[in-house]
Structure 1
Amino acid sequence: MPPHVEDTARRSTTASAERLLNLLIALLDRESGYTREQLRAIVPGYDRAGNQDAFERMFERDKAHLRSLGYPVEEIPDDDPWASDAQLTPRYRVPRGSYRLPQVRFSAEESAVLAVAADAWNDAAQDRLARRALDKLEPALSTEAAPGKDLQPTVAVADPAFEPLLSAVLAHRTVRFDYVDRTGAFTQRTVQPWGVGSRYGAWYLAGWDTDRNAERTFRLSRIISEVAVTRETFDPPRDFSMGGRLAGMVRQRPHLRVIVFVREGAGQLLRRIAAPAPSPAWRAPEGFDAVALAVHDTESAAEHVCAAGPDARVPREPVPGIRDDAAPGELAPTAEGAPATDTASSAESASTSEDTPTAEDIATQNAVADAVARRLRDARAFQARMPGVDVRWGKQRRHGAAKASTEQHLARLLHIVRHVYAHQGAELEETARHFGITDAELVNDLQTL
């Protein structure tokens, strides 16, 4: 982007954030609120709206921004006793104290856990939300203890369905997606998403399946299409708890056994959850070991195989060596566990004899190989659409603020006020590092404030 264009965009974002901040101050200023026209007259920035329609659109966007940041903009009846019914217009306000937490103080241990949790997200969008939440809680955190430097957990969400589903949960929007259950059946689902959470190393969605008129739980890794978020809204049940739903899950014993050929000296994570192949019929080619992977479904097996990259292969039938059509695994999200999902009925064990592979054994091998091949085709197609992408593995910390949206800029301005208030006499450089911005960007924000 040319420098002059970038400067213009930055000035526009700053002006919008300043207008939002002025609007928030006005809405907090008077308990009886202001009408739209009054706000247009007293809030700097609305005078730039060329006409009434432009102002209405700008005001609606600003209300949405404030509400997304946790400020409940209320619409109340006009309190003018001399106005006629035709002249009555709604008034807007943010009730004082409605967005504030009650008096709370976290212990040193609780503060350390919160700090570690906020720093654990290995996803840019979720990391930003977690840091914003921690900033809001900062005045209540203890300064007696900090998380140890040797402890750095991460929460990685490899499922592309996670972010749109989380957004739909928060916005109460119905979603549609294609889903493959553990029997391998493909269906299209229309779901009112109630919550998203992690259990046994996998991510799950709980909600109401409108086509089946029943509550369902879905494993995110089995969503095989983009998640379409519709405009249809819903009201989730008041007594629903995603934590309670996840706590009610029972880790069921695996009921499928898949033979995988693993390269000697490699695939250690796969070997940790596998056992030596029980039957000599599955003889691995030279340089590989045959192991048996106990899983709940073919999709879970494909995830584990793909996570091992080219060091794992799935034979389709028990023959010496490896066939040309055996599927190598690579480029798939990792999974630490494979609990049961959805409501598909449990299948019988795929193997009834450890010595002689049955027809069900062969069918399971083929289903897993097909699932691995499908993932490879999808990965290859994605790579073809995105040539030259520079992938940086691991958690990346930026040294300066990227271009922020108006909402993000306003959130940072408010957090700066809260941080400086809680840390009287804070150094400029230290404060800039805390927010991940440069000294110059912090000075600009302070001038805006």
Structure 2
Amino acid sequence: MATQASEKVERLLNLVICLLHTRRPLLKEQIRRAVPQYDQESDEAFDRMFERDKDELRTLGIPLRSRVDVVFEDDTGYFIDRSEYALPQIEFTPAEAAALSLAARTWTHAALAGSGAEALRKLTAAGVDTDGAASSPTLGVEPRVRAVEPAFDAVHAAVVATQPIAFDYRRSGAPASRRHVLPWGIASWHGRWYLTGYDTDRQDSRVFRLGRIEGKVVRDGRPGSYEVPADHDARSAVRFSAGSRESSGVAQLLVRAGRAHALRRRAIPDTLADPGAGASDAAESVEDLGDPQRDETWDRISVAYDDTGRFVDELCSYGADVVALEPAPVRSAVIDRLRAAAQMAPAGSAGTGAGEAS
């Protein structure tokens, strides 16, 4: 059985269709006969309903116009101006189309990946070249935003709907406890996703790592039942909290000159050596691993990390351009990972050198 709200939406939709597809203004009686919901009402009820619906459409920004009949001056006709109602043809430059395609392909392993794929299909159906032109500044760039935490979709939906939620949260070295939260925002920091919000039990703002949420995230109130502080910046809050409480350590690295710029940008200030500084350390380290190329320039930098596994993955992606010096667990893990990859590579491939260099 249809609810009162759905009946209203259906009535307004029928009214819009009726007034949008007429070639001339329609009188009230003509509208009453064309819209089924009106024809079921008494004269007085129809007049009140029609007046409310006119105001509703105008509030929604729909250009409802009225015109007095030139013959019978006491009769008013109604119509919707198509030129104002319809959106103009939207066109994208090759760079804009490539940027949209890039944004849609960014998300992986989350509900937003489906939305991105659907957006790409709509753009393609509209004749937009989503691959972009060869001159596009995004050509060859394919970032990825991973969201593999099971709680991500539910938490993201709660943030969008400003809906209170409850979940079991496990802090480091402590058993899981029930938390009741007003979600404010969600942000990524060093490969992990965090929720910012107001903990109603503790009466204070908190930051939660999604990977530590156990079980299902359940709704704990009505959507739109609270307001997010106007000055709240989720990423700043996560950076402050995660950066100050979850840093696992600092790694000493040797980076080949002109390589691994992402690591260089995260180097702790005053630890990036001048070109050539640390070269002897590099030669000694590389010599231990049997790399004959000892005459290249290396930089020694320090980089903070908060997850050993993710950090090792990142270092391995640079192959022979990065040498992990300290701490010992990180260095050993990088060497083991690259040597295992080298053993799996076909004989004579470039992967062997990378495995030995780190």
Normalised by the size of structure 2, how large is the TM-score? Answer: 0.43
Q: Which has the higher contact order (CA 8 A, sep 6+)?
A: 1
More strand by share: 2
Which one has the largest radius of gyration?
Answer: 2
**What is the TM-score when the length of structure 1 is the normalising length?**
0.36
